[in-house]
Every structure is written in structure tokens, then in C-alpha cells.
Amino acid sequence: MTTTTTTTAVTLADLTRMLRESAGEEEGVDLDGDVIDTPFMELGYDSLALLQVIGQIQREYGIEIPDDAVVDAETPRALLALVNAGQTATA
């Protein structure tokens, strides 16, 4: 199996797509709205859903993100910063 490392930053659009694919979308939550600073819990995503998304990010982008680092990423902005910093470190 070959893992391709890319230097393309993970965007909010990428993240919301993966959230929908991994855990669906809560009724009444518009992931296409201004959610960058909204806590994942308010968006209807728990830690298990986030771990699924992290796994998907790791597979698609070929980066390693420690599971314990995800605990501090409570908003899409924080998670994207973590993911993109990890991507820079592995490039």
C-alpha cells in the first residue's frame, strides 16, 4: 500500500465533507454556515465522531495525528490548525 503525502492544506470544506461522511449531520445544523469557531459538541459531534474524521484525514492526506492531540481541538478552526500543522511536520 502506498501513502501519498500531499502539501495541500485541509480546508473547512474538506472537514465538513468528512464530518458528513463519517458521522452525518445533525438536524438543524448547517455545516455550510459559519461554523469555524462553533464547538463540535454544539454541532452534534462527539469524540468518537472526531476520531473517525481524524482517521479519514490520516488516510486521505497521509499524515499522522496523535489521538490525544484531538482532545484539545474543540472547534473546526482548532482541528484544522492541528491537522495542517501535522501535515507540515510530515512533509
Q: Which of 34, 31, 33 is nearest to 53 (CA)?
A: 31
User: Would the CA dihedral through 53, 45, 11, 21 be positive or negative?
Assistant: positive
What confidence score (pLDDT) does residue 4 get?
47
What is the C-alpha to C-alpha distance for residues 3 and 16, in angstroms, rounded to an integer? 23
pLDDT digit string (tens) for 44-91?
A: 998 888 889 988 998 998 888 877 777 888 999 999 998 888 766 555
Query: Residue 30 pLDDT more than 90?
Result: no
- Residue 48 CA to chain centroid, in angstroms? 12
**Using an 8 Å Cβ cutoff, are 90 and 4 in contact?**
no
